[in-house]
Every structure is written in C-alpha cells, then in structure tokens.
Amino acid sequence: MAVAAGVKTYRAPGRVNLIGEHTDYNDGFVLPCALSLETRVATRPTRKKELRIHSAEMGAEVAWPLEDVAGLKPQGNWTDYCIGVAKELLTLGYDIQPAKLDVHSTVPSGSGLSSSAALEVSTALALVNGRKIDKVELAKLCQRAERNFVGMPCGIMDQYVSVFGARHAAICIDCRTTTHEVVPLPDGVEIIAVNSMVKHDLGKSEYPLRVAQCKEALSHFPGKKALRDVTLGDLERTAAKIPEVPLARARHVVLEDFRVRQFLEAAVAKDLGTMGRLFVESHRSLRDDYQVSCEELDFLVDTALKQPGVYGARMTGGGFGGCTVNLIAAGSVPAFETAIRDAYKAKYAKEPTFYDCKPSAGAGPCRASASRSK
C-alpha cells in the first residue's frame, strides 16, 4: 500500500502487568511488560485549522477547531483520552497543529491490557510529530491527561511501560522516582493473558474508592509519604487503630510491594516455581484484601492452576473483569487453552480470548506508515 504524502505514524503498546497491582498510585513498585498489541495513530496535515480524529474500531470521526481545544470539556467517551493529551501538551507549550489523526488499535478495550495508555501515548507522539519531548515527561503528561481530564486517578505504570517497554523483557518500575530496571524473563515459559470477556461497571467507582481508602490508611502513619514507605512491622504495630477496610487495602499494598521485589529476584534466578507462587499470592490478596477480583476472574485462575505446566495465574489490571495473566511451560500452552476454553464456556456460556504476551518495545515512530485517505 502506498504511503500518503505527509503521513507519519506513531505506535504505542498495551501492557500486561506481571505483578505489582494497585501499587503504582501508592508510590510503589510494579513489574509489567509491553505487548505486541498496540495502538497506531497516523497523522496528516490538513488545510482546515482543526484537529480531526477518526477511529476505525469505534466507527467514529470527530473534529474540533484548534482554537476550541484548550476549553473543551470531557465527553465521557474515547475521545477524552486524545483531548486530555492535547490539553496537557498545550500546557507544556506545544502548539497543536492542524491535523487528521487516524487511530487503529489491536489492544482490546476493557481487557485490563491498558488500551487507554496506548491511545494516550500514541496520540501524544502524533501531536508532537517529531518535535523533541523527554520520554519520562511523555509518560507523565499522558498520566495527567487521564487523571485531570478523563477523571481516573491512575498511577504511572501504564503510560510508563508503554513508553519504555523492552523486547524480550519486563521492566521493574519505581513509581516514585520514575526509573526502571530491565528484567529478562526465563526461557521456556510463556506469558498468556486470558480475557474473561466481562467488565463489570463496578470498577468505574471502585477504583477511585480504593485510592481514597489507601489515603485513609496512610493517614495513620504520620511522616510517611505513601504506603510504599510503610513496613509490615509498621502495619502490625498500628493495625488496631485502623478501620478494617483501609487496613486490608494497606496490607495488600505493603505485601504486594514486597512480592514485586521477590519476583524480581526469582526472575533473575530463573526460579519459575517462586514466580508462579507469587502470582497466586498476589491474586489471593487482590481477591481478599483489595477486593477487586470477580467471580469470572477467580474461576479462570482456579481452573488454570489445575492445568499441567501452569506455574502461576492471577488477575491483572484494575480488576472487576478483564484478563488473567498466566505463567505456563512453553509446550503446555495448546492444552491449557483448550482446557480453559472448554471450562469457561461450560460455566459462563462465553468464549475467552487468549493473548500470547511477547514482551515488546516501547512507543515510537513507525518506519513504514501506510494509510488510506478518508
């Protein structure tokens, strides 16, 4: 396909989080990897002084006069991620140039594989369009777009790994310092995400509530900046003073940060047994202390753990639906998928979708930009 004159295309990957769930907005540690599933945004200049965005997946095209972008309000749909990014770029001093953006994504929406961050980062790169921007600032401005405009009080993990993802490796992110360590994964193991094909609306209200509950727990530790600074000993000494629910939330975060460091050590040591055990411990904590799992996710995890060659399984992402992530011996994947598909269809009359999570590179320009004129 011929490349249209003046068209440049930028890509940003989704992610699967291996371990470290709901720790990023507590200044903690996370260990995700970027995926080959990605969002691509092709940008072409236009004569009209407008920003026009087309999405094939959404079947929609929307346009705004450039002079109106700074004052736009959230619409409660997918365009908010794009406009939020544009507004943050304006705040940083980047002008928004007249452009038509064509969005195409293979990251499934609502799956817990971070379709929103992939859209934010690819849109930001398309709007910057070759101008200089620091990579950490790119991740931070996309996070601000989701927090300030979309209204989701997310941490930095999704945007950061979309920018800094590494081929053949996960990255361990320190969410306070916004630095990371590349973590090669052992040979002979596959990372398979299983999409439950459900997303309960409860997640929209429960995510901000979890953020608030963590802040309530933190208020019982004067001098601590975030739950990341609270030790298990601190928690045990103060437990009697903290209401039951905030205490449970804090217990998950404190122990999950510890599990991330243990997982990092196990990955370096190629200790798949320990890596799998930590997966299971993380899921139980998310189910019982953080209460962000759901029946379908629990069923997928419990069923996975009965299959030959499965080292570990857990929910991944914000919760209340979306995906599980599974560590599986390479030769066991076909039988695993058959068993999970059959059991899930028999239980819920839904067919799950499977994703082979190959750790991939972070965001950037595409070398070859093919685009149809619209």
| Closest of 83, 84, 6, 93 to residue 52, by C-alpha | 83
In whole angstroms, how far apart are CA 84 and each of 63, 168, 202, 247? 15, 32, 24, 34
Told to judge if 134 belongs to the known catalytic residues of this protein, a careful annotator would answer no
Is the distance from CB of 319 to CB of 292 less than 8 angstroms?
yes
| Antiparallel, parallel or unpaired: β 99-105 and 50-55 | parallel
Cα 332–chain centre separation: 26
- Rounded distance between C-alpha atoms, residue 68 and residue 74, angstroms: 13
SS3 content of the chain, % helix, strand, coil (to 5): 45, 25, 30
| Closest of 95, 116, 118 to residue 36, by C-alpha | 118
3 state DSSP class of 147 = helix
Which residue do the tokens 């080292």 mark?
311
3 state DSSP class of 28 = coil
204 contacts: CB under 8 Å, gap ≥ 6 = none
309 contacts: CB under 8 Å, gap ≥ 6 = 328, 329, 331, 332, 333, 335, 336
Catalytic residue among 158, 174, 288, 356, which?
A: 158
Is the distance from CB of 246 to CB of 217 less than 8 angstroms?
yes
* Residues recognised as catalytic: 158
